[in-house]
Amino acid sequence: MEDYAYIVSDEFHYFIEDSGFNCYTDISFNAIIKCRYTAKIFMSATGDAMLTMINKYVNKRNIHSYSIRPDYSHLRSLKFFYQKDTIRTLAYRFKASGKKAIFFIQSVADAHSLYKEFQDCSLFLCGKSSENGKKYYNDVDDDKITQMLTEQKFEEQFLITTTCFDAGANIIDTELHTVVIDIKNISSLIQCLGRKRSQGAGDTLDIFVKAVSNRQIGGMRSKRVEGLKRADFLLKNNTRAYVEEYPRDDNFSKFHRALIYDEPMSKSRKNTCTKKVNMMIYEKYKLDISQCDEILKLGYAQCIANILHFGNGYGRYYKFCNEGDLNDYLEMLAANQTVMLTAEDKKPFIEKMNVKHNGKLLKSKNSLNAALEEKHKPYRIEGFMTNRVVDGKKKKFKSAWKVIKVKK
C-alpha cells in the first residue's frame, strides 16, 4: 500500500462498530495506519468513536478533522415503543392505510418472521455470510434487491431488512415517509436513518424506534466490564497466568471470543501459542461502557432524541407510541394465530390487558376473558394443550393460549 499516495476509508466506523462480530478489523486498520508516507482519508456520518481511537494511537500533529453539522430537519416525528409486538401492530396499521415503510430489525429471525407475515407486500433483505443469514437468505430476491440498489427505490409497500442495509446505499422515494427501527446500537440506528435521502422540505420522515430499557443497558454494560477485566489482567500478566486465572470458561468465550484470541508463537514450536488482546475491541468496550453510562443517566429515548435534535430547544418533541391500543393488539394476535406456550410468552399480553384487582395484575385466563367481555371486545382467550419440539425434544404444554375472534 506504500505505492499509493492516498488511502480513502469510506464508512470508516466499520473498523470499530463491526469488531464485535468481525475479529479482523484491527488488522486492516493497522495496515493502513502503518503506511508512513501515505495520506489517509477517513469518512463517516458516525465516526466519533473511531476518531477517538485514531486520536489515541496516531500522532495528533498529523490529524486534521473536518465536520459538517448534521441536518435532521426532515424528521417530522420521533416515537418510541417498548413492546416487541408493537412492530407488527404498526405494520398492520401501515398496510391498511397504504403507508410505505422500511423496517430495520437487528435479529434476522425476527425480520424474517415479520416478512413471512407480510410477504404479499414486502421485500426482504438480510446478509448471507452469517449462520442465521444462510438460513433465511433463500427468501431474498437478488434481482429485486439489485433493482432497488440501482434505482434507489423499492416497489413493494414494505422493505424489511437487517443492519446489512445500514450503510452505503440510498433510497430516494418521495412516497416513503416512515421508518421503524429495532436496533440497539446507536451508531447503526443513525446509519439506518441515513438510507432515506430527503428530496426537499416536503419529503419528511416519521420515525418509530424500539426503546431499550435500563435493565438491558445494564446487562450490556456488565458484559463489557467483565471482558475488560479479563483483558486488563492479560495485558498486565502473561498467557500462563491468564489461563490459570480463567481456565476453560466456555460462556466467556462465546461472547468475548474476538476480544482475547490465540496467536501461534512460532512454526518450530507447533503446540505453543500466546493469548493476545484485540485492541480494537478493547477500545470499543470502553466506548460502549461510556455510552451505556450516558444512557443510564438520561434514558435511551432521551439520548436518541438529543442526537436527532428533538427537545432541548429544537421545537420538536418525541413521544411514546400509544401501545395501549388494545384493539390493534388483539386483532394482530388473532389474525396471526399467535400461540402463547409459556408464562413468559403470556407476560406481554397480560401486561397489555392491564387487568388489576386491589392493585395486583390478574393473570388467569378466566379473569382476562371476563375483562374482555366487560369491555365489549370481540375476542376471547382459548386455552388448549399442545406438543411442540423444543431443542430437538418433544415437549408438552398443558395450558397454551391463543386469542380468537368471536362474532358479536
Rounded Cα distance between 100 and 173, Å, is 10
Residue 298 is predicted with a pLDDT of 86
DSSP element (H, E) containing 381:
strand 379-390
pLDDT above 70: residue 167: no
Residue 239 is predicted with a pLDDT of 92
pLDDT above 90: residue 376: no
pLDDT above 80: residue 312: no
Rounded Cα distance between 112 and 115, Å, is 5
Residue 356 is predicted with a pLDDT of 86
Residue 372: CB atoms within 10 Å: 20
Mean pLDDT of 258-272: 81
Phi, psi (deg, nearest 5) at residue 400: -75, 155
Rounded Cα distance between 126 and 138, Å, is 10
Strand partners of residue 123? 159
Residue 325 is predicted with a pLDDT of 67
Rounded Cα distance between 406 and 221, Å, is 46
Residues of the chain within CATH 3.40.50.300 domain(s) are 75-210
DSSP element (H, E) containing 196:
none
pLDDT above 80: residue 186: yes
Residue 169 is predicted with a pLDDT of 82
pLDDT above 70: residue 250: no
Residues 178, 101: contact at Cβ < 8 Å?
A: yes
Mean pLDDT of 359-386: 91
Length of the chain: 408
Domain at 75-210: CATH code: 3.40.50.300
pLDDT above 80: residue 251: no
Mean pLDDT of 220-227: 92
C-alpha cell recorded at residue 284 = 470499543
pLDDT bin (cut points 50, 70, 90) of residue 408 is low
Q: Is the pTM of this model over 0.85?
A: no
Mean pLDDT of 284-297: 90
List pLDDT tens digits, range 46-81: 888 888 888 877 877 788 889 888 889 999 999 998
